[in-house]
Amino acid sequence: MFLRSAGIFFKIITFLLVSCSVYAQDSRKEVIRQSLAVAFFSSDLELSPKWSLNVEVQERIYTDPVRQSQMFCKSQLGFEPFKNFSFKNGIAYYLNSPGDPEFSSSLMVPEIRLNHDLGYSHNLRSIHLSHRYRMEERFIHKKQDNSLIAGYRFVERISYMLALECKLINSKDHNHDIYLKLSDGIYVNTHKGILFNSFDQNRFFAGLNYQLIKNLTVELGYINLYQQRISGVEYLNRNIASLGINHSLKLYH
């Protein structure tokens, strides 16, 4: 499964270069701009030198008008067979609102996601770089008009994300350091039932991490999410303010 994702990655690059050129020339293209805010809590638990567990809860809201966009909770079990390489498998439960904040319905659409990650990290002088290849199996509850109906539709998605982390301020006791974090990810739908939006989204993140105490950091960031909708000619350009708490805990001696 991981090898399949890594093998397809190189095809994704070629596909995106061609498709982005086509989309840019599409006279029907419509870009919808939205502003959102995100709050999250993430906890990393080191179970052993090789095993870890991550748990995250996130709430996402529209800011104009103010209403819920999405909430989710997820967990991911990680295994690091040798230094700088990791394998992770996880499950998440999402509740998604319609993509239009003006839509008056309070309908939330459930979704179950399974994810499988291959990660690699290395240092480039004072910069820490990480690469993440992910395959997601998404089971989205079917809906019709303003109500849920029986069954789920299946969407398979793969992605590649490059992340950079650099320490900006070294505190005297190393308990109040400040880090710069940058990342960019490309997401592609690969399921054969996808007709118009094989390119799903590009997600850019820039933020600062402040180490409040030894095992707790506060993260303030900005996300730009550029996503193609099912129609193939509508795109969401979302500017998202992000605030969260990252917690880490070592559970072994």
Residues 65-99: pLDDT tens digits? 899 999 999 999 999 999 999 999 999 999 998 77
Higher pLDDT, 85 or 145: 85
Residue 160: what pLDDT? 96
184: three-class secondary structure by DSSP: strand
Residue 70: what pLDDT? 94
Q: Which residues contact 246 (CB under 8 A, 6 or more apart)?
A: 42, 43, 44, 209, 216, 217, 218, 219
Number of domains the chain contains: 1
Phi/psi of residue 218, each to 5°? -110, 135
In this model, does residue 5 exceed pLDDT 60? Answer: no
Distance CA 94, CA 149 (A): 17
Residue 26: what pLDDT? 52
Residue 194: what pLDDT? 63
Higher pLDDT, 230 or 156: 156
Residue 103: what pLDDT? 67
User: What CATH number does the domain containing 174 carry?
Assistant: 2.40.160.40
Residues 160-209: pLDDT tens digits? 999 999 999 887 777 789 999 999 999 998 877 666 667 889 999 999 99
In this model, does residue 23 exceed pLDDT 50? Answer: no
215, 44 in Cβ contact below 8 A? no
Q: 116 is in which domain, residue-wise?
A: 2-250
Distance CA 133, CA 99 (A): 26
Q: Which residues contact 55 (CB under 8 A, 6 or more apart)?
A: 42, 43, 45, 73, 74, 75
pTM: 0.84
Residue 19: what pLDDT? 47
